[in-house]
Amino acid sequence: MGKILQHLRIFCAFVGVDSISARQKRLDESIWNAPLQAKTVLCRRFCVCVVIFPLDFLKNQKERGLNVMMINLEKEIREQPGVLYGVIAANLETVRNIVADIKAAGVTNVQLAARGTSDHACIYAQYLLHTLVGVPCGLATPSAITKYNGKLSFAKTLVIGVSQSGKAADVMSVIERANETGAITLAITNYPDSLLAKTAKYHLCCNAGEESSIAATKTFTSQMMTLALLAAVWADDFRFLAALSGIYNDAAKLLEYMPEKVKELAEARKDMTGGVVLGRGFAYPIACEAHLKILETNGIKMRGYAVSDFHHGPKAQIHEGDVAFVIALKGAVEDDAIEMINTLVDLKADIIVITDDAELAKRKGISALLLPNNSTYEMPDAISAFTAAITMQLWALELALVRGVDPDATKVLKKVTITK
């Protein structure tokens, strides 16, 4: 075993990783003296090495509260810089064709059909299409078609169906009705051969590779990137396109330091039983996605709100010591986030601020997670939304680890959920 570890350390040094395992400190030292069986362990900076554990040894570690099987979720979180780097190149030519068709057809509206995580990516797209393109954009109501047999017509409309698997039956029903009523239809999936991809006129691929964790991570940010690419080309906004092309670099920088920062804060809150996540503008869909990631991995009650909505009643639920995340990104609505932080300070909440504002991060009375954002784009929160999303994914992961919870060992959730 000693020789194996020696060779692994040499290999890790050669490729530039920081340690043999990103979870090395979390596992009992006896792990390295275990008998030989294959088990994959993720190294820092995206390197994967094979370390040897026996199956009965892994079972014993789990019984002792050590979650050695949680590597898959972290692996997929850490794949995001590479995924985001490839999305633009994989889809740019198709996006240009779609936009040419949109302009020739005189499209005046957009409808987005999705569920769950994909729905949150669509809310991000709503803000982009409203601000950059200037077209009305709504979220579809599939049951109006599948249950109420509504006579919806989608003339002069771009209808976008978003589904990681491409199997969402209710999203499919919207695309089919759109095809019947003369719309331009677009599917965004992770599988080009899926039924949804084949049913729509156009398809854009998340290009994320297999995602096996129940909690979607890399497919969420790749959906955001794909939709942002569409908005950038449609609006002829080359500055935004340039800013998007640099997001992968911010994501890589974030993953060098943020996991340990998040781990430290999560360990102090391992007994939390619920909380809220607040954001406005481009931070709002990230708040929605963050609450979903935490509740589905940790099984605790969470809720995401728009900062503006939280003032209208929901803030009454906050009591001293309650956990409140505020996503406060530089941009047009940062002042609203700061106002909410002031309110939460007065309520003596346990406030965790996710921000790219270095001055705000220094504020007393909060715990802050500082994001990298070197973009000079005039809507910086449209860019920093990506690293905010990854940070909240890390929070879900790290909280599960310190609580001894396996996020994939759920009795009620499935990776692919079919609704009609």
Asked if the model's pLDDT at residue 179 lies above 80, the reply is: yes
Choose the CATH number for 90-245 among 3.40.50.10490, 1.20.1090.10, 3.30.420.40, 3.60.150.10.
3.40.50.10490
Query: In this structure, how many other beta carbons lie within 10 angstroms of the beta carbon of residue 213?
Result: 20
382 token code pair: 């449209």
Give me the helices (H) in 69-194, please: 71-78, 80-105, 116-128, 143-146, 169-180
Q: What pLDDT, on a 0 to 100 scale, did the predictor assign at position 79?
A: 96
The per-residue pLDDT for range 47-92, each reduced to its tens digit, is 333 333 333 433 443 443 434 444 689 999 999 999 999 999 999 9
What average pLDDT does the structure give for the chain?
Answer: 85
The per-residue pLDDT for range 303-343, each reduced to its tens digit, is 999 999 998 889 889 999 999 999 999 999 999 999 999 99
Rounded to 5 degrees, φ, ψ at 41 are -130, 135
Look up the CATH number of domain 248-403. Answer: 3.40.50.10490
Of residues 150 and 354, more confidently modeled = 354
Question: In the predicted model, what is the mean pLDDT of residues 247-263?
Answer: 97
Asked if the model's pLDDT at residue 380 lies above 80, the reply is: yes
Q: What is the DSSP string of 315-376?
A: GGG--TT-EEEEEE-SSTTHHHHHHHHHHHHHTT-EEEEEES-HHHHT-TTSEEEEPP----
CA distance 70 to 49: 15
Sign of CA dihedral 74, 76, 79, 80: negative
Asked if the model's pLDDT at residue 2 lies above 70, the reply is: no
Q: What is the DSSP string of 235-247?
A: TT-HHHHHHHHTH
Percent of the residues in the chain that have a pLDDT greater than 70, as a whole number: 80
CA distance 171 to 158: 14
Range in 42-51, 143-152, 296-305, 357-366 with the lowest mean pLDDT: 42-51
Q: What pLDDT, on a 0 to 100 scale, did the predictor assign at position 410?
A: 57
The per-residue pLDDT for range 382-394, each reduced to its tens digit, is 999 999 999 999 9
Percent of the residues in the chain that have a pLDDT greater than 90, as a whole number: 74
Question: In the predicted model, what is the mean pLDDT of residues 253-266?
Answer: 98
Q: What H or E segment, with its residue span, contains residue 399?
A: helix 380-403
The per-residue pLDDT for range 193-233, each reduced to its tens digit, is 999 999 999 999 999 998 888 789 999 999 999 999 999 99
Asked if the model's pLDDT at residue 377 lies above 60, the reply is: yes
Q: Classify residue 397 by burial, with Cβ atoms within 10 Å: 0-12, 13-18, 19+.
A: buried
Which stretches does DSSP call E strand in 172-322?
Answer: 184-189, 202-205, 274-279, 301-306
pLDDT band with cut points at 50, 70 and 90 for residue 408: low
* Domain ranges, ordered by start, for the chain: 2-69, 90-245, 248-403
Question: In the predicted model, what is the mean pLDDT of residues 1-25?
Answer: 39
CATH topology agreement for domains 90-245 and 248-403: yes
Range in 16-20, 267-271, 346-350, 352-356 with the lowest mean pLDDT: 16-20
Q: What pLDDT, on a 0 to 100 scale, did the predictor assign at position 405?
A: 87
Asked if the model's pLDDT at residue 1 lies above 80, the reply is: no
Cα→Cα distances 250→39, 378, 419, Å: 30, 17, 36
